[in-house]
Structure formats: structure tokens, C-alpha cells
Structure 1
Amino acid sequence: MGIKNQKGTVSIENYRSRIRLRWRHLGTRYTLSLLAYNKINLQKAQKTALEIERDIALEIFDGSLKKYRGETTPAPQAKPFTKQYEEWVSDYLNMDCEKNVNYNAFRNMINKWGAVSEKNVLKKFNAEQFCIGTYNRRLTMLKQYVSWLVKSGIWKVNPIVDVKSKRGKRLPRPKRRPFTEKEIGKILDAFKNDTCTPKNSAYKHSHYYPFIYFIFKTGVRNAEAIGLRVNKVNVASRTILINEVLARSLKGTSSRQRTRKETKNGKERTLPLTQDLLNVLNPLLEKKDPDDLVFTSFKGLSIDDNNFQNRVFKPILRDLEIEERVLYACRHTFGSRCIEGGINPVMTAFLMGNNPETALRNYTHQLTLPNNLPKI
């Protein structure tokens, strides 16, 4: 027969050449049929019997018997690394990988990695080829994401918490070098008088004179100027409110692909509407609705700064024999002229919509050398 235990415990029997456990608990008789009756399986059955007796004593007995049959609820499959990232960006950061350039680029990077775990994430990241700036930016994003994985219990450890940012010399960006006063005058004159407009062209450069004048005068970002609406220009109070942009999307820079949103860092600022600026803008404000754009293309759409750069700005610089720059150099020019003109860094930063450190680090350059040095 079988091995019969003392009363009140689990008995082990040989029932038709199979191991059978039998016991009573709270007035109910339980029977559990296990594997074939042999020495090895008997050892396993004895462990199961002891587990049942222990659970009864601790009042954690599983009446369904699934625990003692070895039936366990399968652990939920972990979501793919990229899928989990998309949900984190959407649900916790309130961002959109389809619209935000940095989060989109990061998603494309990890999507190439395949299966990712605590053991290989650092190796996969270090295998990427980045410049120092991109490496540090992606490392910051990866640290934030992995920290959330650990905090949520999805990962047990954070293998990159101690990884340091790379240090290196910041390389100059010659195409953002500010223009001199003489160069500014030549550029504005060329726009205003169509001196570089191709003969027989129906698209006169003078159409964009107010646009380029506004950027040189205020130092706003390209997308801030492109998205400026009539109701943001207050003639009565002589102010201009900068609190939104018409930003390019991942799909392109044309008017159909642009999206209206807050400024780059969420800051809004008010700029003075000087008399010369008012004279330039006034003709553009007439007979327009409050939500209309101040600056438009020849077709009345929003300006495509990429096309403007390649088809208008760059050819004018070439014809004027001025070193090639990008349109953003106008913003650098504004910052440098403010500092050189005696406006303190804090006010310069406010006018540009930055903090003082950023303004000094990125947007200021020495335009001219002093005639003298301090006396000793």
C-alpha cells in the first residue's frame, strides 16, 4: 500500500502505480494525484506533503491545490524596451515621439538594439558613434528612462547610474558667427533694394525685407519670427509678445508640416516695439485678422526657413562676398551686439528668452577689438 502518516497529516499512497496524497482540512477531504510511484518521485511527494502541512499550520493553505501541483501563474511578458520607452515618454513625460526631435531620435536608436536588459544596455549604448554633445544628451535621456524602469520595478538595478558625461572642447560653429555692423548694412540694403534679385524674377527679395529686419533687430528664433501673429504686436503699448512658435516637424519645414506650440523653453517675453521696427511692420499689419501671420511667403503661407536659407539668404551672402552663414547667425549677432552695446547679460538673456549662462555661452561673440587696454 502506501506510506501512511499520523492522523491529521498528509498521507502518501500508492494508488494504481501513482503517488496519491490524501489529507483532511477544516472538514474537507483533499486528494492529490501526482507522478508515477517510484523512489525519486516519492522524495518529491514528501516535499509536497511537508509544504501542505506547513501551509495548513500557517493558515496559507491553497484550496485550489494549484500550488501543490506545480501550477504557477506565468509571469507577464515584459514589454519590448522600445515599446516601454514610448509609453514612458507619452504617459509620464507628456511628450510625443512622433513630434519631438530628441525623443524620436532616441527611440530610433534603441529600436536598433533588439533585446535590451540590465546586462547589455551599457554595451549597446557605448557601441554607438556620437559626438560629445549627442553622447551627453542621449546619456541623460537613457539615465532618466532606466531610473524609471528601476523605480517601477521593471528592472532590479540601474547599470548606468554612475556613467559620467564626456568632456571635450566645444568646437566653434563658423556658420553661426555673428555679422559685423558693415555686413548687416549690406545684407539689409540688398534685401530692401533687390540688388541681388535675379533679373526677370517674379520673386523679389524685398518681400522678405521686413522678416530679415525683424530677426536682426530682435534676435528671435527663426520659428518665433515665422509664427508671429498680428495680435502679438501691440501698437498701442509699443510691445511685441513672444510666447509661441510655428515649429518645423519631423516631416519637414513647409507650412503644412509645421505645428504651433510654446517657445523652445516654455518662456514668454515682451520685446519693445521701437519706432524703426514699427515703420517696417505697419504695412504688414494692415487689413489682417488678429490671428494672421505677420510674415508670409509669396503665396501667403508661413515661411519655410529651410527654403529661405537656400534660395534667398545664401545666394545674397554669396553675391555680397560675405562668408556663408546660417539664418540663426542673426540671433548670435543680436546677442553679441547687446553685450557689446552695454546691455548686461541678464537683460540680454531676457530679450533672447534664455538664462544668462546660456546667452553668454552660446550667443555672444566679440565683434570688435578695443582701441586700448586698461592702464596700469
Structure 2
Amino acid sequence: MHEENGYIKGRGAQKNVDNRFFAASYEMRDDFLNYCEAEGDRADDNRTHYLEVFPKTIVNKVESRDVGMEFSMNAYQGCEHGCIYCYARNSHEYWGYSAGLDFERKILVKKNAPLLLEEKLRSKNWKAHPIVMSGNTDCYQPAEKRFQITRQCLEVFLKYRHPVAIITKNALISRDMDIVSALAKENLIGVNVSITSMNEKTRQLLEPRTATIAKRLETVKRLAEHGVPVNVMLAPIIPGINSHEILPLAKAAADAGALSIAHTVVRLNGAIGEIFTDWIQKAMPDRAEKVLNQIRACHNGALHDSRWGERMRGEGEFAEMMRSQMAMARRRFFAGKQFPELNTALYEQYKGGQLSLF
């Protein structure tokens, strides 16, 4: 499980941090580790555990004005992808777990999500608004291959001709191309594929259990060939790690068939600041302080910024440089292209659910 320097291979976070809602804390003591070694036991087997939960609702109203969505739903809480910078890590504390390793090793599975979604879409008071799958955690993370909750939800969206958007960094969406392409024919789906680096080694460190860069670009191409509008998220941009890759990333996205690109500047709010700092000191010790200082330069001297309108775009010299490069990329590679608005007009005809799936 561990390399010689103690780095946990295949994971983003390198430790669990204290849950802010708990008075007690968890500590892996040296005497316990020595005991395990003497007994030939493992103190930590690094396995992923799937835990079923039973929410009462699945569609959430999004209050943030920064993220560009009104409603979201998440089939899973926690995410095995293990992206070290993920803003969703903090939400795992509400479930009683750590935002660190727990976030990527204790995955909460909502098997009743398709039923709850259908109940929502059949509600007399519901009006069609695009619902974003993966507003918090990736709906195509490894758990989806086993549980197929996302696929079942897409079947519900198609049954009711309701618009849906997806955010993912996994090629598994290709498995559901039959449903995705059927939705696309009626302009009911848009897909956002996240690609943060063209360097596979960087990808493995930042996002250890995600699809490779090549597979993600291939996924963008396949979606585009099936008439599915794709936006590529160059997010987050981390100064000193991938900030020099904006133009190459944009060109690769355009060449694969994406209609648009977007970016955010990394911000390390809540427990993520401690988790990221610990990670970079182990994963990239030669540039750890440089990167952390440049992140602070984007957020008025802190690792994060909570101000609406500023927290995801950043400020200062580095953030302005990123915006300039994004503007240049759009002019060079995306001129004349536009990501379409999704169709909300069909839903009322299918709201009763009487019509067949295909």
C-alpha cells in the first residue's frame, strides 16, 4: 500500500483530518503501528467501502451564484476518484466522516435515487429546469460500474423528456451512450468533461483514480460524434502545477469536438487546505511552498476566498494571467462555437409518464 516515503499510492489525500463537528479526534499512534507490524497485521488496508444510505429527497436547490446551476443531484456521496483539490470533501463531514481519506474510501450509495427522482419529476408543482448530476461528487465514479444508479436516473430523465446536465472525469459515460444519444436528439442533455492536465504523471498525482487523459479526450470525441454537446472544464487551474497548460488543454478539447471551455481557480476551503498542504509536501516537495504561495496570491493572501463572485475566479496577477489565457484560447479554438441551452419544452407533455421510454 505504501511506498518507502510513506506516500499512499492510488489515493489523493494522504491522511484523515479531524471532523470539525466532532469533539473527539482520530490518531494513528506509533505504538499501534509497531504492534501491527510485529503481529503481521495491516493498520490500514486502504480498501474502498460502499455504504448504503436512504435519503428522502434527491434533487437539491443550489444557492451558490458562482457555479452556474439551479438544481443538482448526487447518486453518491464521497468519491473514489480522490481528486486532492475537490471542494466536495468538506461535505463528507456532515455524514460523520473525514474530508481526507474517508472521502475517497467510504462511499455512500443512494440506491433509491431513481425512485426519488421520478417522484420529483411527477410532482404537480415541479417545472422543468436542467438538473445537474454530479453537482457535488462524480456520478460516473468507479461505484457506478457496480451499482448503475446514474444509468437508471438517465432512463428516468429520458422517460419524462426532462433536461439533465452531467459533470464527469470518467470515461464510463460511454457505457450509457444509447441513453445519452437519445437525450441529445431532443436537446435534453449537456455533458461537462473535466480535464486538468495533459501530463499523465500530474493527472495520477492530482486525480489518482480518474480516467486517463487519453480516455477523457476520446470520450469527448465520442460524445461529440453522437451529437452530444460537450463543455470541457479546465478546473481547477492550480498555479505552479497546471497553469502553464491552459492553451494546450484548450486546443486538445477543441480538436476532440468540445463546443466550449470553462475554468476555475483552485481554492482550498475548510479542511481541504490542510489536506492539500500535507499532500503537496509529500507528492511535490520541491515546489510545495512555491505552489502554496501562488495559490495565496490568488486569494488575497489566504488559501481560499469565501466571497461570492471572487472565490472561484481569484484575483491578482496569477488569476488575471489565467483569465487572459482563457480568453485567448476561446478566440483561437472556439470561435463561432456555442454550447446550447437545454430543451425544457417537452417535459409537460411527458409529465404523466405514460409514454414509452423510446
**TM-score tier after normalising by the smaller chain length:** under 0.3
TM-score normalized by the length of structure 2: 0.24
TM-score normalized by the length of structure 1: 0.23
Larger Rg: 1
- The structure whose RCO (Cα within 8 Å, separation 6+) is larger is 2
